[in-house]
Structure 1
Amino acid sequence: MDKLVIIDGNSIANRAFYALPLLSNSSGLHTNAVYGFTTMLLKLIEEEQPTHFLVAFDAGKITFRHKGFTEYKGGRSKTPPELSEQFPLIKELLKAFQIQQFELAGYEADDIIGTLTKLADDKGEKVLVVSGDKDMLQLASEHVTIAITRKGISEVDRFNPEEIKEKYGLVPKQIIDLKGLMGDSSDNIPGIPGVGEKTALKLLHDYGSMEEVLSHSSDLKGKMKEKVEEHAASAIMSKELATIFREVPMSSDWDSFQYSGVDLAALSAFYRKLEFKSLLEKLDLSGMDAGGQAEDELDIAIVTEATIGETVMALGESAAMHVEVLGDNPHQADIVGFSFATEAGCWYLPFELLLSEAAAPLKLWLADASKKKQIFDSHRASLALAWKGAPLNGVDFDCILAAYLLDPTESTLTVNGLALGYGLPGIRADEEVFGKGAKFRLPELSALSEHLGRKANTVRRAVPVLQRELEKSELNRLFYELELPLASVLSDMEMQGIKVDAAALRQFGDELAKQLESIMRRIYELAGTEFNINSPKQLGEILFEKLGLPAYKKTKTGYSTDAEVLERLAPYHDAVGQILNYRQLAKLQSTYVEGLLKEVRKETGKVHTYYRQTISATGRLSSQYPNLQNIPIRLEEGRKIRKVFVPAEPDWYILAADYSQIELRVLAHISKDENLIEAFVNNMDIHTKTAMDVFGVSEDQVDSNMRRQAKAVNFGIVYGISDYGLSQNLAITRKDANAFIEQYFDVFQGVRKYMDDIVQDARKNGYVTTLLQRRRYLPEITASNFNLRSFAERTAMNTPIQGTAADIIKLAMVQMAKRLENEKLKSRMLLQVHDELVFEVPAEEMEIMKQMVPEVMASALELVVPLRADVDYGLTWYEAK
């Protein structure tokens, strides 16, 4: 039997808009209603398997109902422009889905749906109506089911006549009587004032219809009798308004609503335009080109020992390649295999073959820097290969780095996503080929070689597309001179690793355990009882019930005992300060003692972190497995963790160099503020200088509190701090904080002008850039939502500063690696921790490195103010600070 699904288009679009946060793409198009509508379509298609499909829309605001009642729907607020601009997109979406849509001037979507359900009743065909409007319940029948959305659009309640009877005690046609009596505020249908749903239902249960209620008004008592008799005409009109018209002049050709499936090419193009990347990933575009046509069969040769030599000859001087690495951490990952692609063909080579003696020519080709390789994620591939004894050199293009620079907010960069995002032939998602989690398994050789071959071919075809986009966005310098060479530098650093004194780490863990035991006993003593300090429930009961401290906020499971709450409670009871201390030490114990010990590689005695270039939208590096950038150095116990990081060779030292106030120096350069420039050019203490200017005092009058406040404002400005944020940092009122910020801007007028100008530039261009042209797109900069817009404005202010600072230290790393190589020094670069570089240095090279490292860092990028790096060294990383 056929099944027709009909969607009340305006109703579902409204529901989707208000159910989802205000999303937009990089062009500033609002997309949340379209996204919600799309997910509902996909769910309906999967669950209902419709043979026929139609979406009905209202056509304009004036309908035949306005002739009898001009105030019909008059109470509705104007449709937000963020929603109205999405209706054309929804209609474009329906064309890509190949779903029929219909609207007719003078009629509402309800009337179109009523007409079609009447046609279905006459034909005996099944219909599902999807709406957020309970008026639709009057259409339920033996053949027609009504699905009313709830909780936005994620769930629906389904009604047939039996379910309407069960819920309301009415038959479908009595829903009109119900609306006649109680009215409908959303449509401005008056009904009888003072009659709500409960009363209306009782009247209908007693008398059967609205007309019968009116004719038996004399049986009613008191005010109810008065209301019914006084507003009888209103009730009659309200019922007429609520009655869905079922004779709309439209096609009665059932086959005209037939649904035959989506237009994959059109839908993928639509998803790309609106940047629905997660939905793109789920489309199966394998074997199709960007126009949706079947692609020519890809001939993928499986390499054997006998054909390795001829394969290397065929790869020649340049080839695209893919290395399939399993797992998140490439230091511990397995390699499934390789694939290569040139214009002449594609090849797949199982990883086991690389370990054979016959693979020597391929290993040489991989290691030969003169043989150019294009790849997706060279950093990850080179790490995994290096641990297998197969170095990778000669990468001249990396697709993941290019895609990241073109859209730094994209969090799920995959080869499949690359194909979809740039209109290339689609390939299957990895989950579809390998499975996920417990269902993971390697497919048959034919399927595996096909999948990996298509990945290499996607890389080959993506390179010229990405090259054009990088050129167009003025990102060539950033890509070729910074990010691409940096990937190789990072791989070398990570393979080198940093030595950990495991015995010292265990001893430190023992010391922490003793401190924790002592603090725990003190907490029990102050609380007057023993309890599980790590249990939020038990801790909440102790603090708020036993000790009677004020409960600032609650969660679904009880009292909140998060850090913010505890810090506010600290002045009320000594136990709270002890609990905060306990938590900090327990975090050190679990994360940085036990966690680091797990990460020490047995064969090297070192930890080998994994730096990610494509995570942070500002360009900062991220560290994983383990994260060595998050050691809490504000605590002395946290700083002590650095004592366990030692040189790998006897008679060597750890040398650390960090930039001095690099972000404020960048701010001085970008803003051209004369006061900031003067301070840095004359090598003044910037926080003292700020305090002098803001408070109007001489240098010798600046006290520690003034400098502390000035420092908070200086760094707060870099991060776009608000008066509220500053008030929290300095424990002052918002009024005082706002006055402080205004005073700052009065002094540093160049900074104020920069802040104003950069926000205007962001509104005009949709993005901001660093000095090296790194882009950060800010679609929310024009949002009507104040919070979204304010966040985008702060991001516009701080991204050029933070991003440029990140670019500078990356440049220093690339230049430092070249100097070490060119001068044939034994010293090694080991770590980057935000503004700090860490090396291990033999004693005989110490004087050279003490001079070279700060020199290279200071000259990484020329600014109008000098860059400065402070350097120190010692037998441990702790001593080097």
Structure 2
Amino acid sequence: MQGVVSMDKLVLIDGNNIAYRAFFALPLLNTEKGVYTNAVYGFTNMLFRIIEEEQPTHMLVAFDAGKTTFRHETYKEYKGGRQKTPPELSEQLPFIREVLDAMGIKRYEKELYEADDIIGTLAKRAQDSGFLTKVVTGDKDMLQLVDDRIHVVLTRKGIADIVDYDAAEVYKRYELSPKQIIDLKGLMGDPSDNIPGVPGVGEKTAIKLLKQFGTVEGVYENLDAVTGKKLREKLEENKELALMSKRIATIATDAPIDVDLNDLVYKKAFNEPLISLFKELEFHSLLDRIGAEETIAEEAKGTDIGFAILENPDDAADVFTEEAALIVETSEENYHFADILGFAVANPNGRWFIPVEAGLASEAFKKWLARTDVKKTVFDAKRDAVVLHWHGLELGGVDFDVNMASYLIDPSESNRELADIAKHKGIKYVYGEEAFYGKGAKRRVPSRDELADHLVRKAQALLDLRPILKKELEDNRQYELFAELEMPLSGVLADMEVTGVTVSPSALKEMGVDLDERIAELERQIHELAGTEFNINSPKQLGEILFDKLNLPPVKKTKTGFSTSADVLEKLRGSHEIIDKILDYRQLGKLKSTYIEGLLKVIHPKTGRIHTMFRQALTQTGRLSSTDPNLQNIPVRLEEGRKIRNAFIPSEPDAVIFSADYSQIELRVLAHIAGDDNLIQAFKDGMDIHTKTAADVFGVRPDEVTPLMRRHAKAVNFGIVYGISDYGLSQSLGITRKEAGEFINRYLESFPGVKAYMTDIVQKAKRDGYVTTLLNRRRYLPDITSRNFNRRSFAERTAMNTPIQGSAADIIKLAMVNMAKRLKAEGLKAKMLLQVHDELIFEAPKAEIERLKRIVPEVMENAVELKVPLVVDIAYGPTWYDAK
């Protein structure tokens, strides 16, 4: 078939070479689980680029099978001296192979042969069969393969810059034919492959010789004609080396490759295995690129699950069985006061869509929603309860929350959409929200039939996921945590979100005026210290003032000039009076924009209150998070920040704000888990733990501890559970690393139980792959055995901290559940408003304060039984600020 022109195009890719280049071209990326992905990402991007630009009909990626090849029989030192492949790259090669398999691209490797030989052989076969072949590599050796219907696409500068070489392009670069590239390597050698060539002969000399004599053999046949005595001598002395180097550099085009060109057909199809892999690797841009959501949706729609539309739920009482899955669909992500789009119910008998108007009007449906004896499975119990409340409906009987179950099983999973959880468990008839509604400006309003189909699929997925996830929770010994803590807590949080917190707009505005005056005064002082007016918010102008005009030492440089970031300014503290002023200016500016203006925007017009959303399934430690707005993050270090709490007031004139705060809960949990006798006794004796630590570490009596000693001890006490290093402690205390290291060693000698805990928990994490809290919450640590020191060290610190911080989070959650029950049992009007880390905030009538002062500490201090007492500090007053 030689000479027959075909429409077929074969792309052959040098797998190891492109993977290596991709690895070094991109920063070291990794997933949330710690899997390295930069080489996979770069390689895959290159694949897409080649596919789009070349439109191949056939493809193959060739890999090296091992370090030993037939060339080593000729020259044992071939490729000797190469640096060992970084483990961060080696770990990614299996994923690259998985990507190829998922994309339907053939891959091949052969013992004793290199990828070059596989490519050379297949390129020659393809040429003989009339194919046009493109070879993709970063290896210039491959240029020897260039022929009429073989091009080499050579990557330069990583993988972004490429050049397509035909014979003319080769000649333009080297003034040689493609075949002469072998002779070039024979003469000049190749350090990257440890091919010796002729010592002292470089590229220019080699090209000059080949232009004159054609080949290595031609050079030696005409050695007398070579000008330059020294060059002739070098060539004469190294004849065998030159001829051997040429043989080694020659790519085999007749290797025993067991591949038929017909097996290399490439059909562009981005299917479910590829989508799942990209999701696992967190390649979000590539998922968009292949239209992943649309593909999944089309595949899902191919499964007809059947359903009915209930126009009048009052006539269908048999639908509302005692065990079912429920979907409450809303129009917005912020579900407070959001419109309901529709409902869906699934049970073992079938699936039903309930139009929103029918559901809101149906007494039968409303009663069924409220029934506590009906076991309902939902996706997010708290969210559904809040949404229904704002529409005058009550949700009862929820005993399984799919989102919460998935979170407890693996809290590191970043994308916990129902469709993703379902796919992960092999359920393929449901698809994502983005694929259904569209994204951003392309978001659409679906027809009623489309909406019905989408919602019943989700309801059925909930029903099918329930037994799967329940078994996993039971196998992990986490069902008790799920059923007795997180599920009841979702109801408590729903009540707190609905209640909201009252904020005084006038108080906020007044604070805003005060801040404006302070900011203006700081601006005047900064300009005065700088000797000129400038834009303080401009990093460029500020950099010029600090480093050019005031000659302060620059700490860090960026592409646009010297950095003026917060960490840089912190390091410059004390070097000039202007630095403190600038830091204060920035902090006050943030307070004004984020907390004064920000809070004013989110006071809801219907209630006059702020309704935050508590994220129950977000953090890996189990701590609650507050968003839209974040009320846990109001700064308290600056007095101006603390004063913002003045605006948080009771909703009734005869009420007060009541605060209850766990005292040093994480240190108490540490004492319990570590079982350190010294630490336990100190808490039992009611000692100030920082004074106790300082006394032990410095070897003095408690009454001899100075404020500085106590400050140092406090830094270690709170830092030790985070695996603080000598460097970290030296930075926070302003002491040398040696002093900090000695301090930590003395601490660990004083508290041997803590030292043993830190060692044992890391070993346990390495054995199990995860750590647990007192209530069996898990956190997986894939980096705990990483060969990368920084990643392993971070995982070890996380292993030490998570049982402490996570247990503290569990304790306050349990206290919240018990507190809600107790308030109800006592018939009190007091309500929980907020949870801020170790603190609970209530609003209560003044008449109930005396009872709260007794009840709240009693409930919180007895949430769990530890080897040390839990202590709660309480305070109350007309504002949140006063309740501290």
| Bucket of the pairwise TM-score, normalised by the shorter protein | over 0.9
Name which of 343, 362, 373 aligns with 2:348: 343
Quick one: distance in 1 between partners of 2:566 and 2:881? 27
Superposition deviation, residue 590 in structure 1: 0.6
Q: What letter corresponds to residue 300 of structure 1 in structure 2? A: F
2:87/2:787 contact within 8 Å kept: no
Match in the other structure for 2:333: 328
1:324 CA drift (Å): 2.8
| Deviation, structure 1 residue 38 | 5.4
- C-alpha change, 1:559 and 1:228, in structure 2 (3 Å) is farther
1:604 and 1:327 map into 2 onto residues whose CA distance is: 19
Q: State how many pairs are aligned.
A: 872
Shift, 1:366, TM fit: 2.0
Contact 2:502/2:610 (8 A) holds in 1: yes
State the 1:632 CA deviation. Answer: 1.0
The aligned residue for residue 318 of structure 2 is 313
**8 Å CA contact 1:176, 1:242 repeated in 2:** yes
* Partner of residue 108 from structure 2, selected from 99, 102, 106: 102
Q: In the alignment, does 2:250 pair up with 1:247?
A: no
Contact 1:425–1:458 under 8 Å retained in 2: no
CA distance in 2, matches of 1:154, 1:454: 43
After the TM superposition, which of the residue ranges 444-453 and 473-482 deviates more from structure 2? 444-453
2:477 to 474, 477, 490: 474
Distance in 2 separating the partners of 1:484 and 1:125:
63
Q: Deviations over 1:199-237 (max 9, x none)?
A: 655666677655566647855558666655554543333
- Find the counterpart in structure 2 of residue 741 from structure 1: 744
Distance 2:422 2:614 in 1: 25
Q: Which amino acid aligns with 2:128?
A: D
1:123 alignment counterpart: 129
Q: Could you tell me the TM-score, scaled by structure 1's length?
A: 0.93
Quote the residue 1:604 is aligned against.
607
Q: CA–CA distance in 2 between the matches of 1:543 and 1:99?
A: 56
How do residues 329-728 of structure 1 correspond to structure 2 at under 5 angstroms? Answer: 329-331=334-336, 333-355=338-360, 357=361, 359-728=362-731
Gaps of 5+ in 1: none
1:877 aligns with 2:883: no
Separation in 1 of the partners of 2:882 and 2:374?
Answer: 44
Structure 2 counterparts to residues 104-183 of structure 1, below 5 A: 104-149=110-155, 156-183=162-189
Q: What is the CA distance between 1:394 and its match in structure 2?
A: 1.9
Check whether the contact 2:297–2:436 (CA below 8 A) recurs between aligned residues.
no
Amino acid at match of 2:531: G
Contact 2:152 2:164 in 1 (8 A): yes
The answer to whether the Cα contact below 8 Å between 1:217 and 1:228 also exists between their aligned partners in 2 is no
2:656 partner letter: Y
Q: 1:14-93 residue pairs with structure 2 within 5 A?
A: 14-16=20-22, 19=26, 21=28, 23=30, 41=47, 48-79=54-85, 84=90, 91=97
Q: Relative to structure 1, is the Cα distance of residues 279 and 555 closer, same or farther in structure 2, using a 3 angstrom cutoff?
A: closer
Spell out, residue by residue over 1:602-635, the C-alpha distance to the aligned partner (whole angstroms, 9 max, x if none).
1211111111012211111111111111111011
1:90 Cα offset (Å): 5.2
Residue 257 of structure 2 aligns to which amino acid in structure 1? M
AA paired with 2:396? N
Amino acid at match of 1:430: E
Could you tell me how far apart the structure 2 residues matched to 1:13 and 1:539 are? 43
Paired residue for 1:859?
A: 862
Q: CA deviation at 1:325?
A: 2.9
Residues in 2 aligned to 1:633 and 1:611: alpha-carbon distance in whole angstroms: 20
Q: What is the distance in 1 between the residues matched to 2:853 and 2:337?
A: 35
TM-score by length of 2: 0.92
* Corresponding position of 2:264: 257
CA shift digits 1:308-355 (9 cap, x unpaired): 234553132221122333433222544332222222222223434444
After superposition, give the CA deviation of every residue in 1:509-534 in whole Å (9 maximum; x if it has no partner): 00000000011001111100000001
**Aligned-partner residue type, residue 302 of structure 1:** I
Residue 818 of structure 1 is matched in structure 2 by 821
The aligned residue for residue 303 of structure 1 is 310
Alignment partners' CA distance in 2, 1:475 and 1:198 = 70
- What letter matches 1:59 in structure 2? A
Greater shift, 179-188 or 218-227, is seen at 218-227
* 182 and 308 in structure 1: CA distance in 2 versus 1, 3 angstrom threshold: farther
Measured on the aligned residues, the alpha-carbon RMSD in Å equals 2.9
The Cα of 1:166 is off from its aligned counterpart by 4.8
Instruction: Give the CA deviation at 1:813.
Output: 0.7
Write the distance in 1 (CA, Å) between the matches of 2:151 and 2:432. Answer: 36
CA deviation vs aligned residue, 1:630-661 (integer Å, no higher than 9, x gap): 11101111100000000001110000111000
- Bigger shift: 565-574 or 652-661? 565-574
- Which letter does structure 2 place at the counterpart of 1:238? S
The more displaced of 431-440 and 523-532 is 431-440
Describe the superposition over 1:70-105 as per-residue Cα deviations: whole angstroms up to 9, x where unpaired. Answer: 111112234456655665665566555444333333
**Secondary structure of the equivalent of 1:330?**
coil
Cα distance change on mapping 1:581 and 1:205 into 2, 3 Å: farther
Inter-CA distance 559–194: structure 2 relative to 1 (3 Å threshold): farther
Q: Tell me, in whole angstroms, the C-alpha distance in 1 between the residues paired with 2:748 and 2:124.
A: 69
CA distance in 1 between partners of 2:845 and 2:381 (Å): 31
Contact 1:326 1:335 survives alignment (8 Å) = yes
The 8 Å contact of residues 20 and 36 in structure 1, kept in 2 or not, is answered as no
SS at match of 2:572: helix
- Please list the CA deviations of residues 799-821 of structure 1 after superposition, one character each: whole Å capped at 9, or x if unmatched: 00000001111111111111112
CA pair 76-22 structure 1, distance change in 2 beyond 3 A? farther
Distance 1:539 1:94, change over 3 A: closer
- For 2:488 and 2:173, how far apart are their aligned partners in 1? 68
1:567 Cα offset (Å): 1.8
Return 394-403 or 367-376, whichever deviates more.
367-376
Q: Whole-Å Cα distance in 2 between the matches of residues 497 and 266 of structure 1?
A: 44
Change (3 A) 1:91 1:573: closer
Q: 1:183 to 1:360 in 2, by over 3 A?
A: farther
> Aligned letter for 2:351?
C
- What corresponds to 1:802 in structure 2? 805
Cα distance between partner residues in 1 of 2:595 and 2:549: 34
Identical amino acids, percent of aligned pairs: 56
Alignment counterpart, residue 793 of structure 2, candidates 787, 790, 796: 790
User: 1:530 aligns to what SS in structure 2?
Assistant: coil
Distance across 1 between alignment mates of 2:63 and 2:737: 49
Deviates more, 1:261-270 or 1:725-734: 261-270
| Structure 2 unaligned regions, length at least 5 | 1-6
Residues 1:235 and 2:238 aligned together:
no
Higher mean alpha-carbon deviation, 16-25 vs 551-560, is at 16-25
AA in 1 matched with 2:245: S
Contact 1:812 1:857 in 2 (8 A): yes
